[in-house]
Amino acid sequence: MTRLKLALRLLRRDWRAGELNVLTAALVIAVAAVSAIGLFSDRMERALSGQTAELVGADLRLASPQPVAAEWLVAARDRNLRVAETLRFPSVVVHGEGLQLASVEAVGAGYPLRGELRTAKVLYGPETVAPGPPAVGIAWVEPRIMQALSIVPGAVIEIGVASFRVERLLTYQPGRGGSFFTLAPRVLIALGDVPRTEVIQPGSRVVYEYQFAGNANALAAYRQWLTPQLAPNHRLQGIGDGDSGAGRALKRANRYLGLTSLLAVILAGVAVAMATRRYGERHYDTAALLRCFGVSQGGVLGLLVPQFLLLGLIAGAIGCLLGWLTQAGIAQLLTGLLPATLPSPGPMPILFAFAAGLLLLAGFALPPLLRLKSIAPLRVLRRDMVPLSPPVLMVYGAGLLAITVLTLRFTGDWLITVSVLAGAGVAALALGLLALALLNVVRRLRSGVGVAWRYGFNNLWRRGRGSLTQLLAFGLALMAMAVIALLRSDLLASWQTELPPDTPNHFAFNILPADVGPLKDYFAARAIPSSGLYPMVRGRLTHINDKPVTRPVTKDDDADESLRRELNLSWSATLPPDNRLTAGPWWDAASGGGVSVETQLAERLGINLADRLTFSIGGQPLTATVASLREVQWDSFHPNFYMIFPPGALDDYPATWLTSFFLAPQQKPLLNDIVRNFPAVTVLEVDQVLGQLRAILQQVGAAVELVLLFVLAAGFVVLFAALASSLDQRIYEGALLRSLGASRRQLRSAQLAEFLLLGLLAGLLAAIGTEIIAYLLYTQAFELEYRFKWQVWLAAPLLGALLIGLAGVIGTRSVLQRSPSGILREL
């Protein structure tokens, strides 16, 4: 107990003497970075999955061809989940003489669980949010039905044997953004109206969909409970299971956030290691004296470890607080951008950040501390005695273990972790050798400069290992900053180009061949950007190499079994702009026939080049060999196709055309005009979906900006730790030189020379490292195009020289300010 008290007293004395500043700063920044990034991405993840849930309409959806056991829904309600029941069936909607095939959707109370239904009184009129599903006897219909049946609101339509009054136009329904090609126009009615229609008979094509929403843990538990009981014809889908439009951007953003907090932690680790090393060196005397006073080796540790533990706890608490404040502040700053009520973060990121701080301390501070216990008490008589270095494995092993655990947490994958660490190890070794070579070059260059500068250059070589360590630390810090800054701007740029401002926000399909020319002219006359008109023929894939296809072809779970083998077939003489060939050549006039298949579909169905595919189009068979495979960027908002044929191959089949186009908000009234001019054409608005995607990207961009700051801060702490590591020796040498008659000016130039050179070399090292690491990250982790970063080669050495030169001269001011006699007396 008294020992513990003494430990605390010693800690207070060290704290007062400023011995712990760098260490504390490094720890605080590491914990703050990890907690802020963790908290912020936790909140964003919650918000984004909330938003995605709004797009989808629920957190979890269960589709089934028959009603499911009642206890399944009871079990969900027991877990405090909200439940909504829906029922979907195709049916003909009748108005007078007019018939239209529609997808009828009957929704129960509580629908939609996430997001909202929006309706309008007139076609393309102002939207209002519906408080709930339609009342009994009421139908809300999609504009396409109004167009097809030429009705206005108030008209009465029949579904089965029941009549419904068409009250409003359904303009937005969560979860129906995507698969518009296969869908018949929708009619929304109340679930209670279904029996009245008498449409549902045994054997009817019906999809029962149960939707769930609620607390993430409860959902996970429910999912776990439900999954084993599902039959093959049940389909359970949570958010994030499928490809959301922003999926790629989010994946990259998550990687970026993970990478930056990892880098911040590694940098902090380096700073902690350097600071503790210095702490250790400055406490040899204390340890030796304690041993003289009869304290055992364990006793020395018993005095030191609690000090560091307490420091870790305090720094951790401050770091967590700082992290929390930072993410709260950023969320505040972004109030315009973020959803009005950002969910509050969970406790896990805080706990993890706290643990990360302690782990960092254990990994990087313990080895130098353990070294102190083995100091020989004889040091009090013979000053030159320093403790034996602990085995290399222990010094680096502990730190490596700490970094491994953290990396594993960020990547969540052993293989990636191991390859990242192995890569980093090789890179560190290579950079070390390079640094040594650079120092060697400097040694040869030193002639031809003034005395003071020569002395400065000389010092760099003379300090040997110390310089090497500093060079590597500076280089690492600069490199981390450069990589993160580069990645940041390229990520932001890539998101900007991902959804350029004129991204098509409307689709038009059902364009009859006769309308193709006039529609093109119409767009041209009004300068409406469109992605071009594509022909489309619907067909089913029946055989691959004469074997029947039994698996569903598309991922579209709204469709029934036969529809799920329906594909959009198109033809084109040229490769569409969003497509990239992955195998086989694109056809030219000479090479003739075949079909080009989308790669993901090909993978799913096991289709290879030169396979024979048989389609059934309107009952007629068509056979083609696979000529090429294409990668398609599905979220580009341009029309895209699984199967593309050469021109002429589909001429015998009925085709309609489709296109997507961009309308600025003020051009919105043109929609009515389009529909009037081209009555057969159906227009689908996707500007809502697009807007939501943009908001998501903006949030992600904000987070990316935020985390950059932490890496910069951690980088600066490393700079300071590295500077401090040679401070004692510099002070001593400076005093000695001055007592030997060197002027302050000479000393200052010598120091400036040393630091400038150190910064220049570190910058060079950082440029080389950045080029390699950025290349690997861009191509392997972020799927970004990599271009040679010439700016880095200029900026890193210059900035390095400037930054380190400046910091070095300021940091070692004390070397010049204090009187030599005072300094020498202390030693």
Partner 1 sequence: MVSAAGLCKQVVTSEGMLDILSDVTLEIKAGESVAIVGVSGSGKSTLLGLLAGLDTPSRGSVTLAGQRLELLDEDGRAAVRAGRVGFVFQAFQLLAGMTAQENVMLPLELAGVTDAGARARELLDRVGLGDRVGHYPRQLSGGEQQRVAIARAFAGGPEILFADEPTGNLDSATGARIIEILFELNRERRTTLILVTHDEALAPRCDRRIQLDGGRIVNVARVSS
**Residue ranges that bind partner 1, judged by CB under 8 A:** 2, 6, 9, 13-14, 16-17, 19, 285-286, 289-299, 376-378, 380-383, 822, 825-826
Contact 83, 110 (CB under 8 A): yes
Entry field: residues in the chain: 827
User: What is the enclosing helix (H) or strand (E) of 206?
Assistant: none
Least distance to partner 1, CB of residue 306, Å: 14
Closest contact distance (angstroms) between CB of 291 and partner 1 is 6
Decide whether 11 or 60 has the Cβ nearer to partner 1. 11
Distance CA 300, CA 375 (A): 10
Q: How far is the CB of 6 from partner 1 (least distance, A)?
A: 5
Least CB distance to partner 1 at residue 741 (A): 24
Whole-angstrom distance between the N-terminal and C-terminal Cα of the chain?
A: 34
Secondary structure of residue 421 in the 3-state scheme: helix
Q: Is the CB of 14 or the CB of 42 nearer to partner 1?
A: 14
Q: Which CB sits closer to partner 1, 23 or 246?
A: 23
Min dist CB 292 to partner 1, Å, is 6
Could you write out the three-class secondary structure of 303-322? Answer: HHHHHHHHHHHHHHHHHHHH
Smallest gap from residue 376 Cβ to partner 1 (A): 7
Q: What is the CA radius of gyration of the chain?
A: 34
Nearer to partner 1, 19 or 158 (CB): 19
Cα–Cα distance measured from residue 127 to residue 124, given in angstroms and rounded to the nearest whole number: 8
Shortest approach of partner 1 to residue 392 CB, angstroms?
23
**One-character DSSP codes across 63-103:** EESSPPPHHHHHHHHHTT-EEEEEEEEEEEEEETTEEEEEE
The residue assigned the tokens 């003497």 is: 17
Question: Nearer to partner 1 by C-beta: 197 or 307?
Answer: 307
One DSSP character per residue, 442-469 reads HHHH-TTS-HHHHHHHHHHHHTTHHHHH
Nearest CA to 62 among 188, 216, 230? 230
Nearest approach in angstroms of CB 739 to partner 1 is 16
CA–CA gap between residue 206 and residue 63 (Å, rounded): 10
Q: Tell me how far CA of residue 407 lies from CA of 43, 260, 402, 436, 703, in angstroms.
A: 21, 11, 9, 28, 20
Task: Pick the closer one to partner 1 by CB: 2 or 666.
Answer: 2
Q: Identify the H or E element spanning 385.
A: none
Q: Tell me the C-alpha to C-alpha distance, in Å, between residue 203 and each of 199, 200, 780.
A: 11, 8, 50
Question: Smaller CB distance to partner 1: residue 378 or 794?
Answer: 378
Token digits of residue 326: 């930072």
Residue 257 tokens read as 């956030």
Distance of closest approach, residue 374 Cβ to partner 1, in angstroms: 9
What CA–CA distances, in Å, run from 296 to 343, 584, 679, 767?
Answer: 53, 75, 94, 49
Closer to partner 1 by CB, 11 or 188: give it.
Answer: 11
* Helix (H) / strand (E) containing 633: none
Residue 648 burial (CB < 10 Å; 0-12/13-18/19+)? Answer: exposed
Nearer to partner 1, 11 or 533 (CB): 11
**711: Cβ contacts below 8 Å, ≥ 6 apart:** 33, 260, 263, 264, 267, 480, 481, 484
- Alpha carbon of 190 to those of 106, 203, 422, 555, 698: distances in Å? 5, 22, 60, 28, 37
Residue among 19 and 560 whose Cβ is closer to partner 1: 19
Nearer Cβ to partner 1 (155/289): 289
Q: Which of the 8 DSSP states describes residue 184?
A: P
- Residue number, 13 or 813, with CB nearest to partner 1: 13
Measured from the CB of residue 289, what is the shortest distance to partner 1 in angstroms?
6
Q: How far is the CB of 744 from partner 1 (least distance, A)?
A: 21
Alpha-carbon gap, residue 802 to 231, rounded angstroms: 67
d(CA 33, CA 297): 36
Cβ-based nearer residue to partner 1, 18 or 131 = 18
The rounded distance, in Å, linking the Cα atoms of 763 and 312 is 32
Residue number, 281 or 578, with CB nearest to partner 1: 281
Sequence-ordered list of residues with C-beta below 8 angstroms from that of 180, at least 6 positions apart, any chain: 507, 509, 684
Distance in Å, CB of 300 to partner 1, minimum: 9
Q: Which two tokens stand for residue 647?
A: 């021109």
Q: How far is the CB of 370 from partner 1 (least distance, A)?
A: 15
Give me the least distance between CB of 365 and partner 1, in Å please: 18
Q: Pick the closer one to partner 1 by CB: 15 or 208.
A: 15
Quote the least distance from Cβ 298 to partner 1, whole Å. 7
> At which residue do the structure tokens 């491994």 appear?
404
Q: How far is the CB of 13 from partner 1 (least distance, A)?
A: 5
Q: How far is the CB of 826 from partner 1 (least distance, A)?
A: 5
- Beta partners for residue 101, in sequence order: 92
17 vs 610, beta carbon nearer partner 1: 17
> 536 forms bridges with which residues in the sheet?
656
Three-state DSSP class for residue 685: strand
Residues 6+ apart with CB under 8 A from 427: 769, 772, 773
Closest CB to partner 1 among residues 292, 664: 292
- The CB-of-464 to partner 1 minimum distance in angstroms stands at 21
Nearer to partner 1, 303 or 442 (CB): 303
| Angle of helix 744-776 versus helix 414-445 axis, rounded to 10 | 140
